């Protein structure tokens, strides 16, 4: 069953670190069955606090999503995201 990973950027704290993350995150997806659906497109918050940006990607299964998220390549990339921003990341199983 499909799984969706939703990244919500609440606040940028270090633009240089976030730029490093951006340069590493995309290539970390090589070899993983990931499909991007939303990548920081125009958005409108209808409820809750404002957000800087949203990314939605899908994987064939929750296990495949976790395999990418915990891969050495993405683990190295996300350290820069942690240093450069405040994010929420949610993994949800599709119907």
- Whole-model pTM: value is 0.94
Of the candidates 80, 86, 78, the residue with the CA atom closest to the CA atom of residue 13: 86
Of the candidates 56, 44, 51, the residue with the CA atom closest to the CA atom of residue 87: 51
| Integer CA distances (angstroms), 7 to 58, 79, in order | 11, 15
* pLDDT of res. 5: 98
**Residue pLDDT, tens place only, 42-59:** 999 999 999 999 999 999
Name the domain count of the chain.
1
* pLDDT of res. 29: 97
Write out the chain's pLDDT in tens, 95 residues.
999 999 999 999 999 999 999 999 999 999 999 999 999 999 999 999 999 999 999 999 999 999 999 999 999 999 999 999 999 999 999 99
* pLDDT of res. 24: 98
Can you give the residue range of the structural domain that contains 40? 3-93
CATH of the domain at 34: 3.30.70.100
């Amino acid at each position: 069953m499909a799984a969706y990973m939703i990244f919500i950027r609440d606040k940028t704290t270090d633009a240089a670190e976030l730029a490093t993350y951006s340069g590493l995150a995309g290539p970390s997806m090589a070899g993983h069955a990931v499909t991007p659906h939303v990548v920081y497109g125009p958005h409108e918050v209808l409820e809750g606090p404002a957000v800087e940006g949203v990314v939605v990607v899908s994987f064939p299964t929750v296990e495949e999503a976790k395999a990418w998220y915990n891969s050495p390549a993405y683990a190295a990339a996300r350290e820069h995201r942690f240093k450069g921003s405040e994010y929420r990341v949610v993994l949800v199983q599709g119907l």
